[in-house]
Structure formats: structure tokens, C-alpha cells
Amino acid sequence: MKRIWPIIAVADVPASARWYIRLLNAQQTHSGSTTFDQIVDKDGTVLLCLHHWGPSGPGGGHHWPTLLNPSGVGDRNGLLLWFVVDDFEEAWKRARELGTAIEEAPNTDNGTGMPAFVIQDLDGYHVAVNQRSY
């Protein structure tokens, strides 16, 4: 078995956790943490890890340069979070309720041929949500 655990740096871990939990109808593993959280599916599969910008606390510091400094858009260049969901219409409703910037309203994605939309999260990351093909 192989799994990917994408980690993004965010300004406010609890706020970002609430945002992703709402968008993806998911759960979290580190409720109340201000430095790290995992957004997980109902079966426990990790969907996304959130890490506060900057080094971790005493004894738990990290050295990853992409998590140290939110100096500008270039730090996020090349990153697009793409989620495939089985509740697309409900995800679109939740996305609108979040009041976030909508980059692309639902449309037929030219790569998958399935409905997709793109929004921005609280830290300006582009988040695509694609209907699962059956």
C-alpha cells in the first residue's frame, strides 16, 4: 500500500482545519493544535496535513525551507491541491458557503472530462475539486 500525505504551510492551523473539514466533509486528528493537524477521510485516510508557517516548537523544529517563510506567492508556485470527491454537488454547496474566492465555477474539466471547480483556501492556495468518475 502507498499513500501520499501532502503537507502545506498555513497561517492559522485551526482555521484552515475548519475550512478543509467543511469543504471535504472530513475529520481531523489533532483538534486544537496550533502547529499541525491532519485532515482525514471518514475511514482515516489522510487527505492533507496542515503545518503552521515557521519552525516548530522547542525540540520539534523542522528544516524544510518551503514551510519556514510565507514570503510570497512564489513559495506556492507549482502547487495545486486537487481533490476527487464522490459528493461533488454537496462539495460545491459547501464551497459556496465558505465564502471563499471562486477561481472556476463548476465546469467540465478538460483533463478528466468530469465536473470540477477551483477555489482559493484561506492562505491563497488553489484548491480544485473534481467529481469522481465511476
The three cell numbers locating residue 22: 467543511
Residue 72 is assigned to a structural domain of this protein:
no
Cβ atoms of residues 6 and 67 within 8 Å: no
Asked whether residue 119 is assigned to any structural domain, the reply reads yes
Q: Taking the model in full, what pTM does it have? A: 0.81
Number of domains in the chain: 1
Pairing of strands 27-28, 36-40: antiparallel
In tens, the pLDDT along 5-49 reads 898 989 899 999 999 999 999 999 999 899 899 999 999 999 999
Q: Please indicate, yes or no, if residue 15 is contained in any of the structural domains.
A: yes
Question: What stretches of 1-134 adopt beta strand conformation (E)?
Answer: 7-10, 27-28, 36-40, 46-52, 81-85, 102-108, 115-120, 126-131
Residue 68 lies in a domain: no
Q: What is the CATH number of the domain that holds 46?
A: 3.10.180.10
Is residue 65 in a domain?
A: no
Rounded Cα distance, 130 and 106, in Å: 9
Sign of CA dihedral 111, 10, 24, 40: positive
Residue 70 inside a domain? The answer is no
Cβ pair 19, 121 in contact under 8 A: yes
* Domain of 118, in residue numbers: 7-54+79-131
Q: Is the pLDDT of residue 76 over 70?
A: no
126 part of a folded domain: yes
